Amino acid sequence: MCIRNRAIETAFGPLFDGREIQIRIEFLSEDDPLYPQASMSSYDAGRHIIYFRRRVLMLAPEAWYDNAMAYWTYYQGGIARSSYPVIGIVDEALWDAHLGQAAHERGLTWPNEDCRAIDISRRLGCEMLITAIAQLVQSPTAPLLNANRLDLLWPGDLADFERRAWARRGREYRDVCRLGGLMLLEPLVREFGVPRVFAYAARTPFRIENNDVRLSALRYQDDARSTLAL
């Protein structure tokens, strides 16, 4: 955990707004009510505890040390990721703690409850943030995007987009989450860095207003720049 925290700080800058937060680690069995259900770890922002499934302890093979020292080296090839999954699990736990702490301090949760909403204007915005963050922490180079096709990645008529997306088995919805979300956060990351932008995203849900993803995204970026520039 300490090694990967240093690797993240070297690659991106300090987590938790640069504050020294004492985080405890606990390993839980399946019969424990706090056992992480959705992934290999969970974070209690109020108590500053990362809970891991106990079987994570069995996933640290020999020779992991050199693969853990540099952040991006681990994600640049499939061999390291398949051989040392514990490194990716620890990274996920640290990023979730960073995001969860930022959200908690504004009375929110991460992921935001909007991700469970039936209303697409709330759910889509939340899923765009989550998908973009997952890509930005695991891909050293962002995919090439055609900025001239904002009409596809940031649709101007959300109701029409919803009808088209599900009629085509959700492929367009997935593209908007993945590529539209990346187009939303990646320019901000280039300006202000990953930790600060992620903390802002955790504290500031992206909600689509007036049925228009494009105008809502541009407004979200403008508000983010105004806040992060202070």
Assess whether pLDDT exceeds 60 at residue 76: yes
H-type alpha helices, the chain: 2-12, 65-69, 71-75, 78-83, 85-104, 120-136, 150-153, 158-167, 171-175, 181-192, 194-203, 213-228
pLDDT band at 144 (very low <50, low <70, confident <90, very high): low
pLDDT one-digit tens code per residue, 162-182: 888 765 557 888 889 999 999
Assess whether pLDDT exceeds 70 at residue 229: yes
Using DSSP, state whether 109 is helix, strand or coil: coil
Assess whether pLDDT exceeds 60 at residue 10: yes
Domain ranges of the chain: 2-104, 113-228
pLDDT band at 132 (very low <50, low <70, confident <90, very high): very high
CA distance 73 to 188: 24
Q: What is the DSSP letter of 115?
A: G
Predicted confidence at residue 168, as pLDDT, reads: 56
CA distance 121 to 126: 9
